[in-house]
A and B are shown apart, each in its own frame.
Chain A
């Protein structure tokens, strides 16, 4: 017996799958399963986070519903995965944020944007808030750079701390030897696997969506979102270096590196989330953990808002709309940062840890 009903069900399914093994060529979950004959909570959480929910094993399984064995691995592991996020959340007191995640994230986003707007309005003169500011340092007329840096680095560092603590707990549960370290080769392998979404390919033909015809649609939108996010992050990092190392102040001209990175990334963060959201809406409900819709959509929406407000700010930064738009963008980014450890963002972190573990297991077995 396991800690939760869904882990009991995951255990039942892994027992069925382990006596069949037809799916062993489809992704990493099944070979990882085959290395075990019994499954601890940690094993099941590991397998759940190794699953990319491509749906191939559901479409290919002779025992999927309506068969009486009722084998639905993608859906069961999706629920187990979502429950694992709360189980490993740090501090545990905040794990409840996963239960009504969509609501929590939207409230925090709304409050955060409102706080920036109100803060800008309270601290600045009307003429400054709705003024036209151009040239280096234009943004800092509304909010001093040091205040901005302090606030965001504080939020960011907290998010990093909470994520590190969470994933530590997860790693401790899934690793053998318990709490063992990851080696460099396995980390590199996991970076490759995560970077190309190797296991979202349904065994080579693509992901199963609304029917039994596979496509690479989800992979494409996920790539746009993920690399869009990374490019935006890189843009911010370059801008920070510009500011502190060579004293160049934002906003930068359109051809400058932070803007180029941010623009490409921003486009990815607009198209990617819209595509992911549309794909989710059309996906066969049998594959989905519909109770977690709020969490999924909440996170997708936060990324979309970040991209959208950033791009709008870029386009309108030399108009009177710059002040309010900056407040909205900063609000979105701030909310994204502080909700990161308590929302769908963590799926990437746990999945990566699971991929490292899998790469290690493969190396040990080889």
Chain B
């Protein structure tokens, strides 16, 4: 390996590869340092499936137009206004071109098919999923002559006055080494797999979190950058958290541990008490709120309780539901107080008002006289066997990050842009996503800012 590169990319996911490829296409020599072993390369990109891009007309893979304005409104709604409007609008504009650019890098789309996802208009789906997408980017990177090192643990960054000089690296075989580069692109993800760090904001509750992605997203690069004077952005307690099966592995359970059955039943905590309106909103919004809701419950555990009439209404699940012929038997198996669960279900059933069930719209099936109410899709739970999924908070990614400008250039604590440091992907997602989430936005942030960061880093290096 050469001792000095034009552009050093730290990270190995979608944002990192888009940065590396665009930098290389911009004429720079590029090294990618991926901290994970080859199989786990790509961080959370391995588990993604689609990307949200604005487009003005239907395409082969998208059923209709999704204008910049509509994208912006969706972003505004999920973030509650916690977004940098200049950056966000810039990203949305750029996302139109990314839809084609990413295909030129070897990534393939598929028509939106089955499942319960109603995203055929707004989101493009990767053929074969996120890992297939990554494989395509890595093949392109290799073909372009980009160097990639796996198991590359960066132990320190040498930064002087907002100027990146070198990265110190611990290799599994050759030991410590120093890599110099003219520009740096940090695209090394968030810190969701770093339970100790999560505990700073969540306390002991974080011990009960399950991490949906790889154990390699420890936020070490983010920490180094913040410690060395890069301005922080985003609320450290904000993260994308969904309710996933409590039986899932601690790390890397990915997509298949999620549950989308909430609207078909009720959700109770370990005291058998309901705690939130299960019928508040339709997928995908309902999906992304339950992780935080469960995190706020005692012992960070909850149970989705439903009956046998709805088992085929949602996606098949990896773990089978826990089943009981009576509510008491079900409670026993869940180690809940049978009397308490019976009482909750009986009260819920009594509060259900007649209506016409339709899970594709906000229907008129609702409860009356209980708190919290279930405002849509409320139907009595009365047909045995009674079923339940135990769920815990499943953390997808974190929002604390490095501030950047439109050039994806990191902004230092004093407000000045860094001379040669750029950031892309989850490590700077908090600039755009202050809170909340809408499917496919992580990939948009990664690809758009990855490409910009790569271009700008190459431009800087070639000057």
A62 touches B46 (CB 8 A): yes
Give the CA-CA distance A53 to B127 in the complex, in Å: 17
B114 touches A21 (CB 8 A): yes
A20 and B131 in contact, given A15-B318, A34-B114 (Cβ under 8 angstroms) = no
A63 and B108 in contact, given A21-B114, A24-B114 (Cβ under 8 angstroms) = no
Give the CA-CA distance A30 to B227 in the complex, in Å: 47
Determine the residue in chain A with the shortest Cβ distance to B257.
Answer: A19
A16 at the interface (CB under 8 A from B): yes
B255 at the interface (CB under 8 A from A): yes
A62 and B110 in contact, given A19-B316, A23-B128 (Cβ under 8 angstroms) = no
Closest CB of chain B to A134's CB: distance in Å? Answer: 57
Determine the residue in chain B with the shortest Cβ distance to A37.
Answer: B316
B49 at the interface (CB under 8 A from A): yes
A66 touches B39 (CB 8 A): yes
Task: Write out, one digit per residue, whether chain A residues 28-40 have a CB within 8 A of any chain B CB (1) or not (0).
Answer: 0001001001000
B115 touches A21 (CB 8 A): yes
A57 and B128 in contact, given A22-B49, A203-B108 (Cβ under 8 angstroms) = yes
Determine the residue in chain B with the shortest Cβ distance to A20.
Answer: B256
A26 and B128 in contact, given A15-B318, A68-B249 (Cβ under 8 angstroms) = yes
A79 at the interface (CB under 8 A from B): no
Determine the residue in chain A with the shortest Cβ distance to B39.
Answer: A66
A25 and B113 in contact, given A62-B254, A63-B256 (Cβ under 8 angstroms) = yes
Chain A binding surface SS class: loop
Within 8 Å CB of B229, what residues of A?
Answer: none
Within 8 Å CB of A61, what residues of B?
Answer: 129, 131
- Specify which of A18, A25, A37, A63 is in contact with B312 (CB 8 Å cutoff): A37
Within 8 Å CB of B255, what residues of A?
Answer: 19-20, 22
Give the CA-CA distance A67 to B139 in the complex, in Å: 22
B128 touches A203 (CB 8 A): yes
A213 touches B130 (CB 8 A): no
A137 at the interface (CB under 8 A from B): no
B39 touches A19 (CB 8 A): no
B148 at the interface (CB under 8 A from A): no
Chain B residues in the interface with A (C-beta under 8 A): 39, 46-47, 49, 108, 110-111, 113-115, 125-132, 135, 139, 249, 252, 254-256, 312, 315-318
Q: Known contacts A15-B318, A20-B129; can you find 17 more A-B pairs with CB under 8 A?
A: A15-B316, A21-B113, A22-B128, A22-B130, A22-B255, A23-B129, A24-B114, A25-B128, A56-B132, A57-B128, A60-B128, A62-B130, A66-B39, A67-B252, A203-B127, A203-B128, A203-B132
> Can you pick out 12 interface pairs between chain A and chain B where the beta carbons lie within 8 Å of each other?
A16-B256, A23-B128, A24-B114, A24-B115, A34-B114, A37-B316, A56-B128, A56-B132, A68-B249, A203-B127, A204-B108, A212-B139
